[in-house]
């Protein structure tokens, strides 16, 4: 995924917390998006970070460290419906470059 790295698969239990990491090349970097994609569906926007720090939005939070080229998506109080792929995408030179996605499976 053009130097955007995220784990391929993760598993977690309903009600737990999971952190999905994403690292990217910092050259030309502008901002970092997270998208959720359920199987057979379109990606849907979750969050956008341009400044360092944590952005919280309900059960989902996203963190960015520009100097380290690192972001994570934190999902709390996991529900079965959170089973999906989570795509990290960096804007670079006006293009949105996606990682290959992390497939999260939530078990009861």
Partner 1 sequence: KAGVTQTPRYLIKTRGQQVTLSCSPISGHRSVSWYQQTPGQGLQFLFEYFSETQRNKGNFPGRFSGRQFSNSRSEMNVSTLELGDSALYLCASSPNRGDPSTDTQYFGPGTRLTVL
Residue with Cβ nearer partner 1 (61 or 100) = 100
Residue with Cβ nearer partner 1 (20 or 78) = 20
Only one of the segments 9-17, 19-27, 54-62, 86-94 lies at the binding site for partner 1 (rule: CB under 8 A); that segment is 86-94
Residue with Cβ nearer partner 1 (2 or 11) = 2
Whether 85 contacts 101, CB under 8 Å? yes
**CA-closest candidate to residue 39, choices 103, 108, 106, 99:** 103
Q: How far apart are CA 86 and CA 30, in angstroms?
A: 20
SS (H, E, C) 35-59: EEECCCCCCEEEEEECCCEEEEECC
Indicate whether 50 belongs to the interface with partner 1 (CB under 8 A).
yes
Indicate whether 18 belongs to the interface with partner 1 (CB under 8 A).
no
Which chain residues interact with partner 1 by CB under 8 A? 1, 30-31, 33, 35, 41-45, 48, 50, 87, 89, 91, 94-101
């Amino acid at each position: 995924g053009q130097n955007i790295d995220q784990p391929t698969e993760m598993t977690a239990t309903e009600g737990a917390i999971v952190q999905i990491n994403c690292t990217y090349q910092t050259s030309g970097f502008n901002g970092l998006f997270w998208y959720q994609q359920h199987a057979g569906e379109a990606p849907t926007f979750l969050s956008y970070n341009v400044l360092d720090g944590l952005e919280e939005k309900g059960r989902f939070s996203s963190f960015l460290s520009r100097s380290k080229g690192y972001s994570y998506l934190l999902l709390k109080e996991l529900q079965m419906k959170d089973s999906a792929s989570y795509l990290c995408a960096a804007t670079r030179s006006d293009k949105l470059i996606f990682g290959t996605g992390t497939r999260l499976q939530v078990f009861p």
